[in-house]
Structure 1
Amino acid sequence: MQTDPFDFWMFIAGLGIFLFGMHHLEGGIKGMAGKAFKKLLQRFTGKSWKGILTGTIVTGILQSSSMVNLLVLAFLGAGMIGLRNSLGVVLGANLGTTFTAWIVAALGFKMDIADFSFPFLAVGILSYLFLESRPFLKSLGGFLVGFGLLFLGLDFMKDSIANLTSHFDLASFKNYGLWAFLLTGLIITAIIQSSSAMIVIILSALNAGLIDIYQSLALAIGAHIGTTATLIIGALGGTADKKRLSLANFMFNAIVGVVLFFFIREMVLFTRVVLNLTDPLLELVLLNSLITLIGILLFYPFLGIFERFLKGLFGKAIPKGETLYVKNIPPEVPDIALQAIDKELRQVFLYTRQFILECFRIREKGKSRDSQWKLIFSSATNLNKKYEQIKRLEDELISYYSQLQEKNLTEAESAHLTSSMMALRSMVYGAKDIKDIIHNISFISESDDKVGHEILSRLSTLLQQRLGEIDLFLEQEETGSEITTPQNWLKENEQLYNELITYIYRNIRHNEVPISTLTNVVRQSISCLDNLCNSAVLRKSGKDTIPEKTEDYRHPLI
């Protein structure tokens, strides 16, 4: 029985080991410097060219364009970078992902790579297994495991293909032209979801003499187009921004790939005549990088036009709901998601503040700060509808909170998330305190009761003062300030409560509004302020406990 010169299972095992190595490599680097890369992406994407450069460097090191694209989506959804600059990062990520091919071509076919991988695997596995208490060293172990698996998988694929060339006749396949190789590269890459793995397969086939440089370059161009399938699949049912980025990535790779496909022979001629390259492996990886680089140079001048074109698409895919930020951010990036929740809580406070002021019929000076919530509430026809919007915001944020809880959060992130949700709850409690007395406030305002009007006047004064102080407090970077400290807020609130209750009973014979109504308004108003003060302290301090507050506001005579 004749043995098959192409060991199919050995090839598949090599491919699986290679992809598993990529996974460990990415995880190890994320563990060692994941936050640093996120800060780098966020900080150095202020301009399109910076985005391209940063995307190239970060992807070249992380070896994961999918991770970089995920971070870009998170930053875009949180409003940290614009669509144009995020396009620059995606273009750079395409260039950075070609770095793997350079490593493989330079080292993978020049030595006994199986032996080369063993030290990395030995040290990496032991570190990964036995250094659980040292996160950095464990991540370093994961990185070494990934690095070793990359080359072990490459060795398996190279050996399985090595003997295939003498038994496989390409004559019939060549009759279909280079288009057949382009489509083959596209389809296989779309299936295995890794252009890096596909390039390794192409390099192995080229090294074995199974294909020539023209066919291998056609396969590589197909791989560039096929790799966009990852983002396209991820964008299905996704947000508008996600669909725009996936379309941009596809258009970039498809247009550049198809255009340069017609110049394959000229590009090969350039490397051989001008650059005098004779090694087909280095020739391929150079052209593989040049294809993306040429595409970036062609697209860069038109990024502004491209951005406007994309913004006009997928309007129906814009997430519905009251939230402004979290609906655009995947929970797979918890630290960015937490920043988005902080922004949402700021908006909830603005909505709640305006709801309270309108309930007390207070006109606030200088409304420019509230332009965003004004748009949100433009459809509201009464106070109850505004309160319902606040409740819908609460529901959406709690739903997002439950999604984040399922992620692998650090202890600090978990505490931050918990305190944020408690702050949200306190704010909504504050809104409910006032919602429950809207009819009482209206009744007192429309009456001729001087006592009632005095009560509303003093409550309105404190409400304006305290809401302004909370607003300033939340804007400060440090809690120590010239404004009233949070420790005094609750005491001042209780002091006014006692003064107003005493005032009511001293003038008990002069009031027309029932005492129960007056005391209820005072009690609920002060409770509202306490809830808002507690919410502000929770958000600022990041603690998961609510400051101590007076349990019940009752006059001693009641």
Structure 2
Amino acid sequence: MLTHIGNLFAFIGGLGMFLYGMDIMASGLQKTAGSKMKELLGYLTNNRFLGVLVGALVTAIIQSSSATTVMIVGFVNAGIMNLTQAAGVIMGANIGTTVTAWLVSANEWAGALKPDFFAPFVLGIGAFIITFSNRQNLTQKAEIAVGFGILFIGLSSMSSSIGMYQDSPVFYKAFQILGNNPILGILTGAVVTAIIQSSSASVGILQTLAMRGIVNWRSAIFITLGQNIGTCITAILSSAGANKTAKRAAVIHLLFNVMGAAIYGVIMTIFFGVFSDLAMQHITSTQISTFHTIFNVSVTILLFPFANLLVKLSGVIIKEDVEETEDEDEEVEEMVLRHLDPRILETPTFAVENAVKEVARMGYIVIGNLNRIIKEAGKEEPSQKKLDKIFQNEEVVNHLETMITGYLVKISQLSLPEKQIIVVNHLFDAITDIERAGDHVENIAECMQSLKKSGVRLTDEAKKELKEMAECTKNALHQSVRSLEEDNAELAAETRQKEQMVDKMEKEIRKNHIKRLKTESCAPEEGVFFMDIVSNLERISDHAENIAQYVLDENEKNITA
């Protein structure tokens, strides 16, 4: 009895090490490939073929189709990916997840290089590097080694714990029943995968059983088909609090896998009916990997031309509310984070990239307000409607500052490469500068409103000076936000030049204003508002320079690293 309990504990411990090893290895791979993630995002266009490739690559890196799909749901919910793009990436994710199965089966076909033979050595080397090395790039690679080692030690533990049961009639009878009943086999695979929320892990368990000669062809095939359906549960649960479009992305994932399982379920039932001798023969771990790959690649090829049909079908299942499809007020939409979603935190590298986009969006709202100021400054009397819009937009900026800060706090708690830690720290400072720049734009709008109410009018010369200075300030702010968004040191350097131009203009305007006061060509009341506006413009350019400096600092550290 104690022997059986000990074997159960060993199997559970081995499964835990396998899952933990996958997680650590995926984390290390993400950090190491972090610099390439932005490039991968750039391929997420309406070209579905590229979407398939990106989905396969990302899943191969993070070792989980479930995590990739959850991330896709987050992108769709954040409005940075449409359903057509999502369909292609989801298809690719199913191909990428086959990498783990081939790693597991390497114990059969790798000969003298069997992973479980040298896994302890790899784990030991990785642990020594993490403990004694101060070089982050090296420790990130060491994480991959540690994850790899733990993964295969876990597999070895699982395999050893069930070794004494390989001739057990209970296992034989169980898999015979599952093999003879395709629906039951598919359901078993789906339920087990849904419980542990990882098709890679459930396939790994099946392969471990296959290594001990416990699993037959028929049961393995139908369980594998069910595992592809069960992996959808993670994305479906993740989409529970998302918008309708994100829910449709999760449904596309489910439809794709259910259709694939149904097609192959029929084909393999007929196949085993013809080749009945093969059906009850033992299957190897490598043969499971081969079928798993053929299944996912062929289903992708088969359903790829019908991606738009899957998108339409998802719309039939998840119907859009009339209110959501109608045009809403622009300001209400801006109160929502467009590029950030909690699901994206599943992949820290993408979370940082999208945080940059959201901070840039906040900056562009302030730039839009400043542009309205420029237009109104040249008019005889500013429009109250336009000024009110500036005030409303400033409320949006304040709201975004709070939400983005909260999101950045969550990102900063994740495991990130050193470069991205620096980026996140600078984003905290950048949103403060953008928010303060927004405050100064609001101050200018209030000055213009006060001028309007008092009946005081600026001279034509003063209007011209303000417009020129405001235009230069806007250009400086725009370049600084672009430099942040694109990580462009050249634009950042140009921003500093623009800021210096604004400083010179401010000094010149002050001199001219004093001359006008001396000659009494402008009233003192006018001068108070005028100089307040000039002062606020100069401070906006200072904040633009601060933002540009963050970009320059990041690039300087990258060069010296």
Q: Same fold (TM over 0.5)?
A: yes
Unaligned stretches of 5+ residues in structure 1: 364-379, 546-558
Q: CA deviation at 1:238?
A: 2.9
Amino acid of the residue matched to residue 493 of structure 1?
A: E
Q: Residue 559 of structure 2 corresponds to which residue in structure 1? A: none
Write the mapping of 1:126-141 to structure 2, written as runs, cut at 5 A: 126-131=128-133, 133-141=134-142
How many Å separate the matches in 2 of 1:220 and 1:6?
Answer: 28
The aligned counterpart of 1:462 is: 468
CA distance in 2, matches of 1:248, 1:354: 42
Query: Given the two structures, how large is their TM-score scaled by the length of structure 1?
Result: 0.80
Q: Distance in 1 between the 2:375 and 2:502 partners?
A: 22
Alpha-carbon distance between aligned partners in 2 of 1:314 and 1:143, rounded to the nearest angstrom: 43
CA deviation string 1:498-538 (max 9, x = no partner): 42244135317x85xxx3x3133112211231133223323
How far the C-alpha of 1:438 sits from its partner, in A, is: 3.5
Q: Residue by residue, what CA displacement relative to the aligned partner does 1:157-183 show, whole Å, maximum 9, x if unpaired?
A: 112223334241654771882222211
Q: How does 1:5-44 map to 2 (within 5 A)?
A: 7-43=7-43
Cα offset, 1:196, TM superposition: 1.2
Q: Which residues of 2 match residues 253-332 of structure 1 at below 5 A?
A: 253-266=257-270, 280-307=284-311, 313=318, 315=320, 321-323=334-336, 325-328=338-341, 330=344, 332=348
* Correspondence 1:26-425 to 2 at 5 A: 26-43=26-43, 47-69=47-69, 72=72, 82-107=82-107, 114-131=116-133, 133-164=134-165, 165-168=167-170, 171=173, 174=177, 177-240=181-244, 242-266=246-270, 280-307=284-311, 313=318, 315=320, 321-323=334-336, 325-328=338-341, 330=344, 332=348, 333-357=350-374, 359-360=376-377, 362=379, 383-408=387-412, 410-425=420-435
The question of 1:443 aligning with 2:446 is answered no
Instruction: Give the alignment partner of residue 519 of structure 1, picking from 509, 527, 533.
Output: 527
Q: Which amino acid aligns with 2:193?
A: T
Cα 1:143/1:461, change in 2 over 3 Å: closer
> How do 1:449-488 residues align onto structure 2 when only pairs under 5 Å count?
452-454=458-460, 457-463=463-469, 465-466=471-472, 469-470=475-476, 473=479, 478-479=490-491, 485-488=498-501
- Residue 344 of structure 1 and its aligned partner are, at CA, apart by 0.6
| Counterparts of 1:502 and 1:216, CA distance in 2 | 90
Could you say which structure has the higher helix fraction? Answer: 2
Alignment-derived partner of residue 557 in structure 2? none
Q: Distance in 2 between matches of 1:86 and 1:526?
A: 48
Matched, 1:528 2:531: no
RMSD: 3.8
The equivalent of 1:537 in structure 2 is 545
Please tell me whether the aligned partners of residues 398 and 421 of structure 1 are also in contact (alpha carbons under 8 angstroms): no
Residue-pair matches, total: 517
1:411-467 alpha-carbon deviations (Å, 9 max, x no partner):
4213430342133123212222123223322136x56x6xx4446533553355435
For normalisation by structure 2, the TM-score amounts to 0.80
| Alignment partners' CA distance in 1, 2:70 and 2:426 | 22
Query: What secondary structure, in the 3-state scheme, does the structure 2 residue paired with 1:92 have?
Result: helix
Report the alpha carbon displacement of residue 72 of structure 1 after superposing the two structures with TM: 4.6
What is the CA–CA distance in structure 1 between the aligned matches of 2:242 and 2:81, rounded to whole Å?
A: 19
Indicate yes or no: 2:505 matched with 1:492: yes
Change (3 A) 1:468 1:141: closer
| 2:430 alignment partner AA | S
Deviation track 1:359-403 (CA, whole Å, cap 9, x = no partner) reads 53649xxxxxxxxxxxxxxxx956335412322222223321232
Shift of 1:105: 2.0
Query: Compared with structure 1, are the counterparts of its residues 394 and 405 closer, same or farther at alpha carbon in structure 2 (3 Å cutoff)?
Result: same
8 A contact 1:469–1:483 mirrored in 2: no
> Residue type of the partner of 1:521?
F
Higher mean alpha-carbon deviation, 217-226 vs 197-206, is at 197-206
2:371/2:474 contact within 8 Å kept = no
How big is the shift at 1:198?
0.7
Say whether the 8 Å CA contact 1:348–1:393 is kept in structure 2: yes
Residue 507 (structure 1) aligns with: 520
Q: How big is the shift at 1:92?
A: 0.9
Output the CA distance in 1 between the equivalents of 2:421 and 2:311: 39
1:461 counterpart letter in structure 2: K
Counterparts of 1:237 and 1:98 in 2: how far apart (Å)?
29
> Which letter maps to 2:168?
S
Percentage of pairs with the same residue: 21
In 1, Cα distance between the equivalents of 2:509 and 2:210?
83
Where in structure 2 are there 5+ consecutive unaligned residues?
Answer: 326-331, 554-561
Structure 1 residues 327 and 102: alpha-carbon distance in aligned structure 2, compared to 1, 3 A threshold: closer
Deviation at 1:22?
0.2
Higher Rg of the two aligned structures: 1
SS at match of 2:4: coil
